[in-house]
């Protein structure tokens, strides 16, 4: 039998999704295993790497139970995952501390010292800032959520862990270590450490100057390979756990933002896509390196060889719906009378449709965990605004969907100014794109046609599978755009434009008028 399948692992914040794809990107079957997130105080967010691995094994075994995996047909394993996380490991790959994930901002004080100096511009020493932007294309976020900040927090507050650490790995790269026994990062996964020179996409490597100003050591960090390089073969132990053949190739893989860029199918230069999952982003591929530090937008190395992509991220998108479900509508408390229905998100859509476009003037701001772009503000917080005695639950639910779309419109304007050209349309992927209502809301709010990609929730995994196909020589980057079908296109409704234009302006005004309040409330948070 010809090996023509790819087993993908997509480690999201909610847990790993394991799927089987053909080498031309066609989805065959998949399964999911949830993992918990432990919130530590106001700023900490941790997950157990062993929970990730256990979830990968459980989901893979369920695929075996459905006869969806033939080990002889699996040509490669490809991992994509949540980005901007940190796993400290010993030489055996054992985690020495729970993973600090992308939501963890406990390194905020440390990173502000690292990036600062006697003279500061927007909080940065101008000499350090110049070196970062010239060489890497960006600079560490002062919000404390990049791996560089995680490492400094561990070294300051968990010195025993730091002393015992052999390597600090991103979540994807730790999973790859479990698969192959080799510690390596890809040129794209290492980027948020801000210690690589990315000016020449064919010669990306650690930079001594950036390591020095970042306060990191080269020996703490893994070797570098390309996303479409073969990292190694499955070890005997990993093959046993997954029911696959030892030696099956494992490719370098990529974080979720980058795999989504590939799996969206919008891979030609300046073709845009919008992702709405736990977080959100709006990005495209470009030919040149560029940085907008004020809005937190930069071009960084793509997993597709020889290309840059526009990098940005909004902290809370689908997370707002999860919060609505878990803390407002179905909290596990003394007032709860019914279990959470299995079709809760479909019911929320139906309820939101009982309201009207604009939710009778209710505005929801989705900054439940601070914000990264288009403003880097870790103190801002979310809320409902303009409530009245007549406000209904349907208004509240619809306003959450619309609030995330307003935030996307804010980012859209910044990205289009950055690229110098408006997007004629956007491919829409992620769990949020499963909702026809949310697709239409985004089309109306953004005033752009929204192309709902087939199997949008599998876009990250599809991107990983397509990268595996490129690695194995079964596909070229130019083939990717033709490999991703569109399920439906949603066009803006002109009747809703005036309403959404007005509410969007006030959405922006809410941030301007309240950011000082949040800074004072969270001055020591």
Q: What pLDDT score does 525 carry?
A: 53
94 falls in which pLDDT band (50, 70, 90)? Answer: very high
Q: What is the CA radius of gyration of the chain?
A: 22
CA distance 31 to 17: 6
Tell me which of 152-156, 394-398, 478-482 is least confident: 478-482
484 pLDDT exceeds 90? yes
Residue of 150, 229, 231 lying closest to 192 (CA atoms): 150
Give the tens place of pLDDT for each residue, 388-427. Answer: 999 999 999 999 999 999 999 999 999 999 999 999 999 9
b/e 311-324 (16+ beta carbons within 10 angstroms → b): bbbbbbbbbbbbbb
Sequence-distant (≥ 6) Cβ neighbours of residue 348 within 8 angstroms: 321, 324, 325, 397
What tens digit of pLDDT does each residue of 162-174 get?
Answer: 999 999 999 999 9
Q: Residue 1: is its pLDDT beyond 80?
A: no
Find the mean pLDDT for residues 290-297.
86
Measured CA to CA, the distance from residue 195 to residue 168 in angstroms comes to: 13
Which neighbouring-strand residues pair with 370?
368
Structure confidence by residue, pLDDT tens digits, 512-525: 999 999 999 987 55
Percent of the chain with pLDDT over 90: 91
* pLDDT tens figures, 331-357: 999 988 889 999 999 999 999 999 999
* Residue (of 171, 168, 165, 143) closest to 85 by Cα position: 171
Taking residues 123-132, what's their average pLDDT? 96
Return the higher-pLDDT residue of 334 and 193.
193
CA distances from 126 to 109, 129, 330 (A): 19, 5, 49
What is residue 329's DSSP assignment?
I
The CA angle 277-282-283, to the nearest 5 degrees, is 125
Round to whole Å and give the CA distance between 190 and 171: 11
Residue 159 has pLDDT above 90, yes or no: yes
Lowest mean pLDDT among 38-42, 254-258, 282-286, 289-293: 289-293
Q: Read off the pLDDT band of 477 (50, 70, 90).
A: confident
Query: What is the distance of C-alpha 133 from the center of its chain?
Result: 22
pTM exceeding 0.85: yes
List pLDDT tens digits, range 435-459. Answer: 999 999 999 999 999 999 999 999 9
The residue-averaged pLDDT of 94-114 equals: 97
Q: How confident is the model at residue 376 (pLDDT cuts 50, 70, 90)?
A: confident
The yes-or-no verdict on residue 182 having pLDDT over 60 is yes
- Residue ranges in 165-305 assigned as alpha helix (H): 171-180, 208-214, 236-242, 256-263
Cα 154 from chain centroid?
23
Kindly tell me if the per-residue pLDDT of 2 is higher than 90: no
* 45-83 pLDDT tens trace: 999 999 999 999 999 999 999 999 999 999 999 999 999
């Amino acid at each position: 039998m010809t090996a023509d399948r790819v087993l993908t692992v997509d480690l999201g914040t909610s847990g790993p999704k394991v799927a089987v794809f053909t080498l031309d990107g066609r989805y065959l079957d998949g399964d999911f295993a949830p993992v918990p997130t432990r919130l530590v105080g106001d700023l900490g967010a941790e997950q157990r790497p062993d929970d990730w691995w256990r979830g990968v094994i459980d989901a893979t075994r369920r695929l075996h139970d459905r006869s969806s995996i033939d080990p002889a047909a699996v040509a490669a394993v490809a991992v994509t995952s949540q980005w901007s996380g940190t796993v400290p490991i010993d030489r055996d790959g054992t985690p020495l501390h729970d993973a600090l994930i992308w939501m963890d901002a406990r390194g905020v004080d440390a990173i502000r010292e690292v990036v600062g100096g006697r003279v500061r511009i927007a909080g940065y020493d101008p000499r350090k800032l110049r070196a970062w932007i010239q060489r890497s294309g960006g600079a560490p976020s002062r919000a404390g959520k990049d791996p560089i900040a995680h490492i400094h927090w561990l070294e300051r507050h968990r010195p025993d862990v730091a002393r015992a650490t052999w390597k600090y790995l991103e979540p994807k790269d730790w999973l790859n270590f479990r698969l192959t026994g080799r510690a390596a990062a890809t040129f794209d996964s290492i980027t948020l450490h801000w210690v690589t020179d990315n000016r020449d996409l064919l010669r990306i490597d650690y930079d001594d100057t950036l390591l020095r100003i970042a306060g990191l050591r080269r020996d703490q960090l893994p070797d570098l390979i390309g996303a479409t390089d073969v990292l190694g073969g499955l070890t005997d132990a990993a093959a046993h756990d997954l029911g696959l053949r030892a030696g099956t190739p494992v490719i370098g893989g990529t974080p979720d933002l980058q795999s989504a860029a590939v799996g969206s199918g919008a891979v030609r230069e300046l073709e845009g896509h919008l992702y709405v999952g736990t977080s959100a982003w709006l990005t495209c591929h470009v030919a040149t390196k560029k940085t907008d530090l004020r809005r937190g937008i930069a071009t960084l190395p793509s997993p597709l060889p020889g290309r840059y992509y526009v990098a940005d991220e909004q902290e809370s998108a689908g997370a707002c719906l999860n919060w609505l479900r878990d803390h407002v509508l179905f909290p596990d408390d003394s007032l709860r009378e019914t279990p959470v229905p299995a079709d809760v998100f479909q019911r929320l859509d139906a309820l939101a449709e009982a309201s009207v476009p604009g939710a009778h003037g209710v505005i929801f701001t989705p900054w439940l965990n601070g914000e990264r772009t288009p403003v880097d503000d870790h103190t801002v917080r979310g809320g409902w605004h303009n409530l009245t005695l007549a406000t209904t639950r349907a208004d509240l639910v619809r306003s959450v969907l619309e609030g995330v779309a307003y935030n996307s419109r804010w980012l859209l304007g910044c990205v289009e100014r950055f690229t110098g050209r408006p997007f004629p349309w956007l491919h829409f992927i992620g769990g949020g794109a499963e909702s026809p209502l949310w697709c239409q809301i985004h089309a109306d709010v953004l005033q752009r046609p929204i192309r709902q990609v087939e199997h949008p929730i599998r876009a990250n995994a599809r991107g990983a599978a397509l990268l595996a196909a490129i690695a194995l020589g079964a596909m070229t980057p130019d083939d990717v755009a033709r490999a991703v079908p569109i399920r439906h296109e949603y066009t803006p409704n002109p009747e809703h434009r005036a309403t959404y234009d007005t509410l969007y302006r006030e959405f922006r005004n809410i941030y301007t008028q309240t950011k000082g309040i949040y800074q004072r409330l969270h001055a020591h948070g």
